[in-house]
Amino acid sequence: MPLIDIHVMEGVFSQEEKARIIAETAKGFGRVAGQAMQANTSVRVQEVRSGDWGGAEGVWTTERALALKAEG
Residue 47, pLDDT > 90, answer: yes
Q: Indicate the average pLDDT of the chain.
A: 95
Length reported for the chain: 72
Q: What percent of the chain has pLDDT over 70?
A: 100
Q: CA 41, 12, 27 angle in degrees (round to 5)?
A: 20
Per-residue pLDDT at 18 exceeds 90: yes
Residue bearing the bigger pLDDT, 72 or 42: 42
Tell me how far apart the alpha carbons of residues 13 and 25 are, in angstroms, rounded to a whole number: 15
Residue type, position 53, single letter = W
Averaged pLDDT, 14-24: 98
Can you give the pTM of this predicted structure? 0.88
